[in-house]
Amino acid sequence: EFFIDAVASYKTDFCLFPELFNAPLLAEFNHLDEARAMRSLAKYTEPLRDRFVDFAIRYNVNIITGSMPMLDGKHLKNVGFLCRRDGTWERFEKVHITPNEVQYWGMVGGDEVRVFDTDCGKVGVLICYDVEFPELPRLMALQGMQILFVPFLTDTQNGYIRVRRCAQARAIENECYVAIAGSVGNLPKVENMDIQFAQSA
């Protein structure tokens, strides 16, 4: 809530959180293997979404929640939410799942990209790896996207640079604004999540 309050004090229209921003909560499940821990973390996703909807209304800012794990039937997906300041929300899914997400967490990708209407125009959201595939934002641009948001999580400087450069390319190709936000720091007591490297732009 602190970060939302800080951003809202500048009268901004959007607040973007990183991919898997709630990863520190994985420490609660260190006694489980990585896949079961991530599935257990998914129990927080809907309550967190509801809190973000409340924050969007209270602080009068549209919030892109980054992403969180969510169980969709038996499938674990990497999803996020656009929480509008009018109290409505939309869900988006990561389409291209990384080999790491498959190997350690058993995640599966979504099958749809959408553009969302906001009080500031049409926006799209691509989670991390998805921005490296030009076809997805092109489909969004054809739907009228004006701003592309890219929440990401990378563990090395090389990974961060790859996401940033691809995001810059998508801005040029689709003549739209692009905002990126990534996690930074380390979680030494969380399996498969020990360090994150990022800069936001």
Please give the Cα distance from 55 to 15 (Å, whole number).
Answer: 11
Catalytic residue, chosen from 15, 34, 83, 94, is: 94
Is 94 an active-site residue?
yes
Please give the structure tokens belonging to residue 61.
């800012």
Catalytic residue, chosen from 15, 19, 77, 93, is: 19
15, 4 Cβ separation under 8 angstroms = yes
Is 128 an active-site residue?
yes
Using CA atoms, how far residue 171 sits from 63, 107, 156, 164, in Å, is: 21, 28, 23, 11
Helix (H) or strand (E) holding 115: strand 115-118
The two beta strands, 185-186 and 177-182, are: unpaired
What burial letters (b/e) apply to 102-141, b meaning 16+ CB within 10 Å? Answer: eebbbbbbbeebebbebeeebbbbbbbbbbbeeebbebbb
Catalytic residue, chosen from 15, 34, 93, 128, is: 128
SS3 state at 52: helix
Which residue's structure tokens are 């990863």? 23
Is 19 an active-site residue?
yes
Task: Give the catalytic positions in this structure.
Answer: 19, 94, 128
